[in-house]
Amino acid sequence: MKQITSLAEMQALVYPADAKIGFVPTMGYLHEGHLSLVERAKDNCDITVVSIYINPTQFGANEDLSSYPRDLERDLELLDSLGVDYVFIPTNEMMYPQPYLTWVNVDEYSELYCGQSRPGHFRGVATIVFKLLNLVRPHYMFMGEKDFQQLVILQKMLADLNHPCQIISCPIVREEDGLAKSSRNSYLSPEERIVARSLSQTLLQMKAMVAAGYKDATQLIKIAASNLENNGANVDYVELIDSRNLRKQTEIDDHSRMIMAAFVGKTRLIDNMLL
């Protein structure tokens, strides 16, 4: 595995002709969720590139940028053992030359849901992903469904900006008790860890209710939110949306997805499920 730490080297990298290039952008502190994306890229592409970069512009002023978990050495060992071809590790100076003035924003979608409690977050995500795509030049980008709003926003960004890269969305990888894998799970105390599983349990319960014939979105949202609160989580939002365009739904159909964010202690967790 080759490590690339300069812009010039990344830009000058020549891939073999006709090779399909797969890309997995990450902020490091890799878990099985990331590794499943890498494996998918390896299975479907000739060359796999992974980036490790904690993007400061997607963190709000009071968020966890400085404490975000890091373990570069372990990340590199894991990626190497999976047979990744290139790992790109840029610095803030490379990605945000000062004064930095150019941004990518997917209007409307970025203001919804997570965007309400994290203003500017998706502008930071869209900007860094667009920049990474310009540098890495992949045919396919592999992304997890856990950050579902991010996934739809980035798909819209690529479509609106006529970018040829295709996003391959991959299923959420969960702990044995259902908790969606996330680097931020490492913040949870053992007691909080028990509360945290109420997110996936609630989603499963809502899926079962839909299977049993419940169709009223308002009712389902209400039940889900009080379920979370009763289990000790502090709800940020629970919504029922159309998976294709993030629009709120009032009635369940084949595209209905419940999305949720809740604080467990100080840790903000997100999860979602197609109902």
| C-alpha to C-alpha distances, 74 to 32, 81, 173, 196, nearest whole angstrom | 13, 11, 20, 26
Q: Least distance (Å) from ligand PAF to the CB of residue 58? A: 6
d(CA 250, CA 184): 32
Nearer to ligand PAF, 85 or 147 (CB): 147
Q: What is the dihedral of CA 26, 31, 34, 39, to 10 degrees?
A: 140
164: three-class secondary structure by DSSP: coil
Q: How far is the CB of 15 from ligand PAF (least distance, A)?
A: 21
Q: Is 34 a catalytic residue?
A: yes
The alpha helices in the chain, defined as continuous H runs, are: 7-12, 32-44, 72-81, 92-95, 114-117, 121-136, 148-160, 190-211, 217-230
> Which spans of this chain sit near ligand PAF (rule: CB under 6 A)?
25-27, 55, 58, 125, 128-129, 147, 150
In the complex, the smallest distance separating the C-beta of residue 92 from ligand PAF, rounded to whole angstroms, is 12
With beta carbons less than 8 A apart as the criterion, state whether 130 and 157 touch: yes
Q: Quick one: 53 or 225, whose CB is closer to ligand PAF?
A: 53
Cα(98)–Cα(184) distance, integer angstroms: 30
Task: Tell me the pairing of strands 267-274 and 256-264.
Answer: antiparallel
Residue placing its CB nearer to ligand PAF in the complex, 128 or 158: 128
Active-site option among 34, 139, 163, 255? 34
Q: Which residues 6+ apart lie within 8 Å of 178 measured at CB? A: 197, 200, 201, 204
Minimal distance in Å, beta carbon 156 to ligand PAF? 15
Question: CB neighbours (10 Å) of residue 120?
Answer: 16
Q: How far is the CB of 228 from ligand PAF (least distance, A)?
A: 23
Taking the least distance from each CB to ligand PAF, the nearer of 29 and 275 is: 29
Active site residue ranges: 34
